[in-house]
Amino acid sequence: MSRSWPAESASRGAQRWLVAAACGFLLLLCFGWMQTLLGSYDLETFTTTRGFGHPVLALEFVTGPAEVDEILGEGPSRASRRADLVAVQRADVWFPVFYGAFLFAVAWALRREGGGRVSVLALACAVLAVVADYGENALIATLLEAAEGAVSELAADSPVYLGLAVAARLKFGLLGLYGVLVAVALRRHGMLGRFAALAGQASFLAMAAAIVFPARVLEPASAVLGLFWFALLLLAVREAVRAQRQQSEAQSG
């Protein structure tokens, strides 16, 4: 005997939110792995007068070869610093995959629950943010390759700097826009949904500020974005459990 429509609907809902939750936990594991890698490299000796607290963040917003040389420093330690940053960039290939999959899965689950056009736009934002992130990583790799010697060999008028400025700001802008779009659909998901919606709106404002004032705002803005993503993970777990319970009730009824 076939299952009733309510049971099938609850089953599909549970599967969608389970996928979102699984992607969220994978993202959390990837973030922890990245933090472990960052801790194993000699990044504390990097210096920059532009206000960035971390060389990886500073590289995302460099505007010329002098800033690259400032981040890498001079003397015998330059080569090891560059090697550490190259290793970090190679490891960063995985982070966009996991956060993109998580954000896509959440937006897809919301869309199937009546999220409407805003959820479709959020899906597009998740995909385009990952594309921009990979473009940014490729440009940073070009910068580091050109800085293998005592000074950066990339000309100050190289299009790489303009491309990096566009890619970095596009990535953060799309991630912020995702938050405000998803917030529209989250409000119908109880108190946790409203909290996640508020965090999504805050992430939009934080990313907008980071685009304009990256050196001052990027680190706290990233923390706000992380809070939003964690709220989405909690919501995905709760919705998966709720949908599973509804499926069991529909089958028993």
Domain assignment present for residue 32? The answer is yes
Q: Which domain holds residue 37?
A: 5-173
Task: DSSP letter for 194, please.
Answer: H
CB distance 147 to 89 below 8 Å: no
What whole-number distance in Å separates Cα of residue 130 and Cα of residue 142?
A: 19
Q: State the pLDDT confidence band at 188, using cuts at 50, 70 and 90.
A: confident
Tell me how many domains the chain contains.
1
Domain assignment present for residue 52? The answer is yes
Q: State the pLDDT confidence band at 37, using cuts at 50, 70 and 90.
A: confident
CB distance 181 to 118 below 8 Å: yes
What whole-number distance in Å separates Cα of residue 108 and Cα of residue 13?
A: 11
More confident of the two residues 86 and 150: 86
Domain assignment present for residue 242? The answer is no
Residues in the chain: 253
Domain assignment present for residue 164? The answer is yes
The answer, yes or no, to whether residue 7 has pLDDT greater than 60, is no
The whole-chain average pLDDT of the chain stands at 86
> Which of the residue ranges 15-24, 110-119, 129-138, 207-216 would you say has the lowest mean pLDDT?
110-119
What whole-number distance in Å separates Cα of residue 218 and Cα of residue 98?
A: 21
The pLDDT value recorded for residue 2 is 46
Judged by DSSP in three states, 96 sits in: helix
Task: Give ∠ CA 28-166-139 in degrees, rounded to 5.
Answer: 70
Nearest to 128 by CA among 96, 174, 164: 174
Please identify which residue in the block is written with the tokens 């995702």. 178
Q: Is the pTM of this model over 0.75?
A: yes
Domain assignment present for residue 97? The answer is yes
Domain assignment present for residue 43? The answer is yes
Domain assignment present for residue 225? The answer is no
Domain assignment present for residue 227? The answer is no
What's the mean pLDDT in 97-120? Answer: 88
Q: State the pLDDT confidence band at 91, using cuts at 50, 70 and 90.
A: confident
CB distance 65 to 154 below 8 Å: yes
CB atoms within 10 A of CB 96: 19
The pLDDT value recorded for residue 152 is 86
